[in-house]
Structure 1
Amino acid sequence: MFPVYLLEDNEQQQATYQQIIENTIMINEYAMTLVCATANPAALLRTVENQQKGLFFLDMEIGANCQAGLELALTIRQRIPFAQIVFVTTHEELAFLTLERKIAPLDYILKDQALSQIKQQMIDDILLAEKQNEAAAYHEKDLFSYKIGPRFFSLPLAEIICLYTTKDNPGHVNLLATNRQVDFLGNLNALAERYPMFFRCDKSYLVNLTNVADYDSKSRQLEFVDGSQTKVSFRKSRELVLRLKQYQSKG
């Protein structure tokens, strides 16, 4: 789950912002969760241990310290270089400091505008964070990413056994992995280009050669580590034998 954090010392505003965040996540079925809603910067920091990503909605002024959120953002940026930070504040004059200190916030929401405008900005920021997180995951090394409806999923490439299509479910790709089996909207040709480490054993199958258990070149029957099997096209059989020998020599 992609973590979201909220720092706000006004109890009523904290409850309102928390509801906006949670409702947006629920309505869009995003793989996100509000990890922390607090008025205490130190308490928030304790919840980000070992995190490498996150969306942070930070009030600039906490108690008598009008730069508490700014100071917290600096610490977050040091710990999580790609954190997405949004300031929610009455202090428009401090916006320049976020540039001066190279915090690079995702957004700067002013509290003195109508609640409907604040709500829309927060919703837009959550949607943008989701899109950016999705784009990053697609390019993450050693991860396979796919979408089912509005939700985004990823798993290690090493867990994938094969990807295949069937005539009775056009426009969908079936994913068989060591710990899951799902189907999603997709195109096998596009996946073959995006993940060249997989082998196209016929027009309907992309296979992960690291999860091949056995290949009978006479019957052209390919068996995977989970016991499932598929047929290899005559045209691809010779290439497959060579590729498997290469994998064995590397091992």
Structure 2
Amino acid sequence: MKIYLLEDNSIQMGRLEDAVAHELMTFGKDLSCVQSFDKPDQLLSAITSNTSDQIFFLDIEIKGEDKKGLDIAKIIRQNNPYAIIAFVTTHIEFMPQAFGVTAYKYINKTLDEASFRKEIGETIAQVFPINATTTDEFFLYKTESQLINLPMDQILYLSTSDIKHHVHLQTIHTLMDIRANLADFKKIHKKLYPCHRSYIVNTDMIISVNLTNYEATLINGQVLPVSRMKIGKIAQIVEERGRGC
């Protein structure tokens, strides 16, 4: 795991580092995985890999440039679709643009200390999934050109793409494009179920099933179609999960 901090105000940086250190302790980690920067170019130069266990806490205004942090986030996201990005700032007016780069969280600097640390802790917790204790709880897909290894509790669903031989992988944080066929993923993990000819859903992410409209609602509020032949099985899976079967 790597955590990168970008903040040009020394007082705010100290506060951020203290909050990160405090929350890392709850996971048995220390600041050795944290790198702090006040210059965007230095941060970008320090990134040596593109993995799902990278967290970026970015201020939006850097050295008087209102949207510098947003620009840096766009570069990070272009190179790493798996990274977790959180903005730590007072510029509420840029919040819609922040989510435009699939930011996980927008943390307001004006929060009281307890709330501020809670927001930091929730962000860090994304790379310490509660249920991902064995390799069975990871989504692993490998080809000659791609390697994707993500905790299953970050996977929402896979769907067909308008591009031939491409598949969309929708995670909690971002939408990824994979060169593959949807059928390649039918047996990749026991929690992935082909609910429709165009979708394979992570059944753990379903919170409700509409038996009349043939739909499944996911934890993020998104609704997926379910085929008539599969609706009964989807309902059974969700019911059994609720009973702990």
TM-score by length of 1: 0.51
Q: Post-superposition shift, 1:30?
A: 4.8
Check conservation: 1:86, 1:105, Cα contact below 8 A: yes
2:118 aligns to what?
Answer: 120
Gaps of 5+ in 1: 146-192, 195-251
SS of the aligned residue for 1:140 comes to strand
**Separation in 1 of the partners of 2:87 and 2:97?**
12
Distance 1:68 1:86, change over 3 A: same
1:78 aligns to what?
Answer: 78
Q: Post-superposition shift, 1:31?
A: 9.2
Check conservation: 1:24, 1:123, Cα contact below 8 A: yes
SS of the aligned residue for 2:128 comes to helix
Q: Post-superposition shift, 1:133?
A: 11
Check conservation: 1:90, 1:112, Cα contact below 8 A: yes
Choose 108-117 or 79-88, whichever is displaced more: 108-117
**Separation in 2 of the partners of 1:39 and 1:47?**
13
Q: Post-superposition shift, 1:132?
A: 8.6
Check conservation: 2:60, 2:68, Cα contact below 8 A: yes
**Separation in 1 of the partners of 2:98 and 2:81?**
15
Cα shift readout 1:180-228 (whole Å, capped 9, x = no counterpart): xxxxxxxxxxxxx97xxxxxxxxxxxxxxxxxxxxxxxxxxxxxxxxxx
Distance 1:63 1:108, change over 3 A: same
Letter matched to residue 87 of structure 2: F
Gaps of 5+ in 2: 150-188, 191-245
Check conservation: 2:87, 2:98, Cα contact below 8 A: no
Give the 5 Å matches for 1:93-108: 93-99=93-99, 102-108=100-106
TM-score by length of 2: 0.52
Give the 5 Å matches for 1:84-163: 84-99=84-99, 102-131=100-129, 134=132, 138-141=138-141
Letter matched to residue 40 of structure 1: K
Letter matched to residue 130 of structure 1: F
**Separation in 2 of the partners of 1:119 and 1:107?**
13
Whether 1:6 aligns to 2:18 is no
SS of the aligned residue for 1:23 comes to helix
SS of the aligned residue for 2:103 comes to coil
**Separation in 1 of the partners of 2:128 and 2:32?**
12
Cα shift readout 1:74-126 (whole Å, capped 9, x = no counterpart): 00000111110000000000011124xx3111100111222221111111111
Check conservation: 1:20, 1:122, Cα contact below 8 A: yes
Cα shift readout 1:126-178 (whole Å, capped 9, x = no counterpart): 113322995897222479x9xxxxxxxxxxxxxxxxxxxxxxxxxxxxxxxxx
Distance 1:32 1:19, change over 3 A: closer
Give the number of aligned pairs: 143
Whether 1:19 aligns to 2:18 is yes
Choose 125-134 or 9-18, whichever is displaced more: 125-134
